[in-house]
Amino acid sequence: MTDDGFAHQAVEDAVARERAHIARELHDGVATDLAGAISLFKVYMEKRKGQPDPNLKNVFEILERLLKHVRETLADLRPAGIGPDGLVGDLRSQADEFARLYGIRVELSSNGTEDQLSPHQREVVAQVVREALTNVRRHSGSSICRVKTAFDARPFLVEVSDEGRGMVAGGRPGFGLVGMRERAAGIGGRLEVVSTEGRGTTVFLFGPA
């Protein structure tokens, strides 16, 4: 690995540690307190006879939405190494969970074998796909997403596409895209985004040349 590669890896490790720290703080603090408040609200409303106070019902619904958002943020923050089923198995699990939680169908196809990738490259692929799916959920409005991997290509290629609203021309890239580009650079690869307003977005991750 080159000096630049070691530097990128050191930055990635530091970012991963900080993300894990923030995730622990959110889980042990905000998420736990919100879950406790929601439980107390449920007990209170179950004890009341008749219709609950509309204002209290609104507060309860706000707390539920907040807890859902915090849990989604926790899922995005937690570092996830490659599991025993390998990279493709992890991508399949991501796709299944994404469809189950958000009702967005994810079609996954793969060519070649992940054995040609280093452990660090596999982790970056999983992270980029996870972030790309998060962007689909948050911004695209698409009901379908496709994840294609071509590990037998030179360089290897990962493609995540949707059929959503697309990106506004000239808009500033979000932190998610910036993070994906940094991860791609960390393995000597690159990330490209093709998007047409109203016609969807495709994220391309190219491995090292």
The CATH code of the domain that includes 166 is 3.30.565.10
Q: Say if residue 42 is in the same domain as residue 111.
A: no
Q: Is the dihedral of CA 78, 82, 87, 90 positive or negative?
A: negative
User: Distance between CA 194 and CA 198 in Å, rounded?
Assistant: 12
pLDDT beyond 60 at 2: no
- Are both 199 and 173 inside the same structural domain? yes
- The count of domains in the chain is 2
Burial 58-97 (b: 16+ CB within 10 A, else e): eebeebeeebeebbebbeebeeeebeeeebbebbbebbee
Give yes or no for residue 17 having a pLDDT over 80.
no
pLDDT (0 to 100) of residue 155: 93
Instruction: Please tell me the predicted confidence (pLDDT) of residue 174.
Output: 60
Please give the average per-residue pLDDT across 42-59, as a whole number: 78
Beta-strand pair 105-111/144-150: parallel
Residue 33 in this model has a pLDDT that exceeds 90: no
Residues 179-186 have a mean pLDDT of 87
Residue 176 pLDDT class (50, 70, 90 cuts): confident
Residue 65's domain comprises 3-77
Give the per-residue pLDDT at 11. 61
Beta partners for 110?
149
The pTM (predicted TM-score) of the whole model is 0.64
